[in-house]
Amino acid sequence: MSSGGDKFFAYFDEASAGSCRQSLIDLDAYIESAGPFDGLMAFSMGAVLGATLLVQRVQKNAVLPFRLAIFFCGGVPGDPSALDHNKIRFLNSASDGEILHLPTAHVWGKNDSGSLTWGPGLAELCNGQLATTFTHDGGHEIPGWNNSAGLERTVQCIQRAINRAIGSQ
């Protein structure tokens, strides 16, 4: 955990549309140069970035770079078309509906001290028939050795997304 005065690295400056746009360009370039990849596995801000990239591909009617996505403590993606107009707008299922139509796994903690609705918010933007969710008893973390039941349920959630991706070949 960090306090308000702590310094840390980030993929982008959340208050800067230009920074967010550049992070999408950088991630897309990396995927093109180092891929192909079967899936995306991302935590927290990385999940926001990965989900935003997927939304950008959908908005451009482009092929998705992954067959499945696994989001840990994921955040709600930004609207790439708003970023193109130098605006920051977060997507929500009430106004934007289900945007992502690929198998997904979503794992978040019920005691996450961040934005508690962001994990469910991201899951609601994904196809309900292809999304699997699990809320564990922890916080902003992936269940590990000290939470064997949570770890087992997390693995089951991920396995379900993988099986759906394999079944859609």
Residues serving a catalytic function are 44, 112, 140
Under a CB-based contact definition with an 8 Å cutoff, are residues 142 and 43 in contact?
yes
What string of DSSP letters covers 8-26? Answer: ---SS-TT-HHHHHHHHHH
C-alpha distances (whole Å) from 156 to each of 33, 50, 67, 95 are 31, 22, 18, 31
**What is the helix (H) or strand (E) element at residue 162, kind and residue range?**
helix 148-167
Q: Give the number of C-alpha atoms closer than 13 A to the C-alpha of residue 11, restricted to the C-beta side.
A: 19
Q: Are strands 39-43 and 68-72 parallel, antiparallel or unpaired?
A: parallel
Q: Which residue has the tokens 């891929």?
A: 35
Compute the Cα dihedral for 110, 105, 125, 74 and give only its sign.
positive
